[in-house]
Amino acid sequence: MKRFVISISVLLIAFASIVVAQDTRRFTIEELLKVRRVGDPQVAPDGKSVAFAIGDVNFDANRTVTHIYLMPIGGGNMKQLTSGDSSANGPRWSPDGKKIAYVTGGQIWVMDHDGDDKEQVTKISTGASGPVWSPDGKWIAFTSEVYPECTNEVCNRQKEEQAGKSKVKAHVTDRLLYRHWVEWRDVKRTHVFIIGSKGGEARDLTPGDFDAPPYAVAGDIDYSFSPDSKELAYLRNPDKVEAISTNSDLYIVPTAGGASKNITVRNRGYEDSPIYTRDGKYILYRSQAAAGFEADRWRMMSYNRATGASSELLRGFDLNVEDIVLSPDGKSIYFIAGERGLHPVYRVDSTGGAPQRVLNNVFATNLQITPDGRTLVFAHSSLAAPPEIYRVDQDGSGLGPLTRVNVEIMSRAALEEAEEMEWTGALGKKIHGFLLKPTNFDPNRKYPLAVLIHGGPQSAWNNSWSYRWNPQIFTDAGYVVFMPNPRGSLGYGQQFVNEISADWGGKVFIDLKNGIAEVLRRNSYIDKNRIGGAGASYGGYMVDWILGHNNDPRFKFKALVSHAGVYNLTSMYGATEELWFVEWEFKGTPWTNPAMYQRWSPHMYVQNFNTPTLVTAGELDYRVPYTESLQLFTALQRKGVESKLLVFPDEGHWILKPQNSELWYRTVLQWFDKHLK
């Protein structure tokens, strides 16, 4: 088959040409909140249509409401299948294409393919999510957060009722990882259930005092049926202390019930995303080799069900594998891999070998393939265009959007295309990032620079849309935006990722500073005396680090914004949930390696703080507890540094509620405007 690689930049420009007019059109915070959130495409078994989800912000209700839509795969009018004040999401087709399972009101429902005859399937007290059909159409697997000591619904219901009536809301635990992201996990466990596709009694396939899948490491849906519907593969962490382990092993269990078997016991790193090959001989899955390192390279693995052996299919491939999809004939595997801020689509023979890039210059997610193997469907976006559902022929030709739900809102916007740039970082390493000019750019003017620092730290700025930290909000406000991907960023090979561990403020800081200096050298329209820095999570850590090291002779930061930033590494260790992360990054605990924690902790350099700083956080953040931000603000105030604190009692690591998001953006822009304009 001839390989066909296509760039979609021309298509994006054509599709978003309405965006680039030089007039008075704006892209404000209000406009951002009006953008419809398109995703989760699911191709029908007959290949003729696609079900997908669209989320719309209800600003007055302070939430996003999601509903399910359907449209022909060849294009045409889309039909809304669900409606009402409650969200409906997670559409999944029945094998015969006659039904769609979905989640609404915390339960699994099934409707006809045209949206008629909606029927509730699960009615369990602890709720249900993540529906997966068995190939014979008789069963639906799902997850529920249950009381591990309970063996039936009657027990779970009694526990739920007792908890609801009790005036005591205390948390009691005797194990770590007792909370995660925004919720306490001291009582319940996630288990995989199956239920008849027409309802009935749900059966727990994974009973016991453990999570399956492990909520701390699992993907969206990490369980699947064998082709004969007699077996289910799922994830579980068998280690005693889950808070220091990334060992999510792959298990199999008979769907009729019985003992589970660990089939990846020899690997101590992550496993996830199991899918059976169509002939039932193999299970494909993703795996990380390093124990305790959540940012190790995701490999594509194949488990031989006859021999019990696992093998890597892409040896030498130095990028993270995502969205594994089998061709209908079983001869090819399609997948996505992040690279230099993009998500191109690859193909490889099912027996392994060298992958071929099918589609370039896209940021693809939720990859699907039609039953005839001729068409790929996925969601795609860029920094200048919000997500839409796209289709492309399996050889990379014929690319085009299926949905255009944001055309109207984009016609009222003026969005800036991102420019790529490279510079030399620490030790001569080439570093990559993105630069965006202000709306209605005038090269004869001088503009302030906003440097946005991504979190992770093993993450990346991508050429993709974001509702949080959207750079277009800053360009609309008159800022040049610089989005660097220094050491630790994903998409540049595993060694590049590894080089930030145990070096959080070292070479990566040089990468950032050299990038800013190069931006200033190349672009005379930027005022080097008006530079602001902002970041969240690790990006917030870097802002806190900059506070103590704002002494580069080439430029100075004049204002900073730290959101959910790590300030004191020792206190961070004692209050965060995923201890494997800090123990890997700083090579031990604060008592086994105190020098490392002190060396890279921003609070050790408070004597140098003198840059005006806005500090923001969510009280429900259990990843970087908001007390880190309180400590930073206290130090700034006691040092007499101009500072402001913004805390959301109803938010976690991310500011998600629409009204809160609006306030956050406005507060950040006001802070920058005050100090940089």
| DSSP labels, 352-369 | ----EEEE-S-BEEEEEE
Tell me the backbone φ, ψ of residue 608, rounded to 5 degrees: -95, 0
Please, are residues 364 and 388 in contact by the beta-carbon 8 Å criterion?
Answer: no
Helix (H) or strand (E) holding 242: none
Q: Note if the bond before 471 is cis, omega within 30 degrees.
A: no
Q: What is the pLDDT of residues 551-599, one digit of tens each?
A: 999 999 999 999 999 999 999 999 999 999 999 999 999 999 999 999 9
Average pLDDT over residues 63-68: 98
Rounded Cα–Cα distance for residues 454 and 468 (Å): 11
| 625-643 pLDDT, tens digit each | 999 999 999 999 999 999 9
Region 418-431 average pLDDT: 98
**Cβ–Cβ under 8 Å, residues 142 and 101:** no
pLDDT of residue 4: 32
Q: Residue 414's pLDDT band (boundaries 50, 70, 90)?
A: confident
pTM for the structure as a whole: 0.94
Percent of the chain beyond pLDDT 70? 96
The predicted pLDDT at position 469 comes to: 97
DSSP 416: P
Nearest CA to 453 out of 499, 512, 520, 382 is that of 512
CA end-to-end span of the chain, whole Å?
Answer: 57
Cα maximum dimension of the chain: 73
Q: What is the pLDDT of residue 264?
A: 98
317-321: long-range contacts at Cβ-Cβ below 8 A with a sequence spacing of 24 or more?
A: 317/355, 318/493, 318/494, 319/491, 319/493, 320/490, 320/491, 321/286
Q: What are phi and psi of 452, to 5 degrees?
A: -100, 125
Q: Are 191 and 212 in contact (CB under 8 A)?
A: yes
- Residues 396 and 4 sit within 8 Å (Cβ to Cβ): yes
Q: Are 500 and 528 in contact (CB under 8 A)?
A: no
Q: Is the pLDDT of residue 19 over 50?
A: no
Residues recognised as catalytic: 537, 621, 653
Q: Is the pLDDT of residue 7 over 70?
A: no
pLDDT tops 70 at residue 17: no
Does position 161 have pLDDT exceeding 80, yes or no? yes
Q: Which amino acid is at 197?
A: S
The token duo for 499 is 């080089």
Strands, E assignment, 105-219: 107-112, 119-120, 129-133, 139-146, 179-180, 183-184, 189-196, 203-204
Query: Does the pLDDT value for residue 529 go beyond 80?
Result: yes
At 412, is the pLDDT very low, low, confident or very high (cuts 50, 70, 90)?
confident
Q: What is the mean pLDDT of residues 459-483?
A: 98
Of the pLDDT bands very low, low, confident and very high (cuts 50, 70, 90), residue 9 is very low
Instruction: Report the pLDDT value the prediction gives residue 216, as an integer from 0 to 100.
Output: 66
pLDDT of residue 674 exceeding 60, the answer is yes
**Confidence check: pLDDT of 14 > 60:** no
What is the model's pLDDT at position 220?
Answer: 66
State whether CATH 3.40.50.1820 applies to domain 416-676: yes
Q: Are 133 and 93 in contact (CB under 8 A)?
A: yes
Residue 207: pLDDT over 70: yes
Would the pLDDT of 2 be above 70?
Answer: no
Q: Say which residues have a Cβ less than 8 Å from residue 425's Cβ, sequence separation at least 6.
A: 431, 486, 487, 507, 510, 511, 514, 515
Short-list 437, 585, 624, CA closest to 497: 585
